[in-house]
Amino acid sequence: MFRPLSFYIGLRYTAAKRRNHFISFISLTSMIGLMLGVAVLIIVLSVMNGFDRELKQRILGMVPHAVIEGSGPLQDWESIDEQVQQHPRVLAAAPFIQGQGMVTGGGNVRGVLLNGVLPEQEKTVSIIEHHMVDGSLHDLKSGEFGIIVGRLM
């Protein structure tokens, strides 16, 4: 009967004679330690793969992958948008304006980050609409002054 050498040596030392119980204990402890180490490694890799997937879907779905900025306001952003959309590796693009501000209420002062977006194009590049508790991007109309208020969780 064919037995691999490592398997034969392992069986020899785990099933030691009566006088070598310590060798059996050390061998059994080593095998259990190896099994636990491999199991922990598999579990950690599985968790990290799941975390990587969640990171890509949730966090990177809210943050732009690339931003084109000018030294001042971009006057002809439509032509830049057309050029960017023509690149074969670009899936979607949307313009936005970003600014900072302060909000006061009830004696509290908070800093805010303001994003001006085009609602029709924002749906193509962001997953924000899927995470809104109340309202939707459809409530915003181009040319009107609408606002959606959110908070970090």
- pLDDT per residue as tens digits for the range 19-28: 667 777 787 8
* Residue 134 · residue 142 · CB < 8 Å: no
Grade residue 36 by pLDDT with cuts at 50, 70 and 90.
Answer: very high
Q: Based on the domain organization, do 85 and 20 belong to the same domain?
A: no
Q: Based on the domain organization, do 71 and 111 belong to the same domain?
A: yes
Q: Is the pLDDT of residue 18 over 70?
A: no
**What is the total count of domains within the chain?**
2
Task: Report which of residues 73 and 114 the model is more confident about.
Answer: 114
Structure tokens at 39: 């199991």
Q: What is the pLDDT of residues 112-149, one digit of tens each?
A: 888 888 888 888 888 877 777 887 777 887 778 888 87
Q: Based on the domain organization, do 101 and 50 belong to the same domain?
A: no
Instruction: Provide the strand spans (E) within the chain.
Output: 96-105, 108-117
Distance of alpha carbon 127 from alpha carbon 66, whole angstroms: 16
Q: Based on the domain organization, do 136 and 76 belong to the same domain?
A: yes
Q: Based on the domain organization, do 107 and 33 belong to the same domain?
A: no
Q: Based on the domain organization, do 86 and 149 belong to the same domain?
A: yes
Q: Based on the domain organization, do 112 and 87 belong to the same domain?
A: yes
Structure tokens at 37: 């180490």
Q: Based on the domain organization, do 79 and 115 belong to the same domain?
A: yes
In our burial notation (b when 16+ CB lie closer than 10 A, e otherwise), range 14-28 reads eeeeeeeeeeeeebe
The tokens 């059996």 sit on which residue? 24
Mean pLDDT score, 9-35: 75
Distance of alpha carbon 39 from alpha carbon 24, whole angstroms: 22
Of the residues 22, 43, 59, which one is the last residue of a structural domain? 59
Q: Based on the domain organization, do 115 and 140 belong to the same domain?
A: yes
Structure tokens at 74: 């971009």
DSSP H/E element including 5: helix 5-14
Give the residue numbers spanning the domain of 55: 5-59
User: What pLDDT does 40 receive?
Assistant: 96
Question: Within the chain, what is the greatest distance between any pair of CA atoms?
Answer: 90
Q: Based on the domain organization, do 72 and 127 belong to the same domain?
A: yes
Grade residue 17 by pLDDT with cuts at 50, 70 and 90.
Answer: low
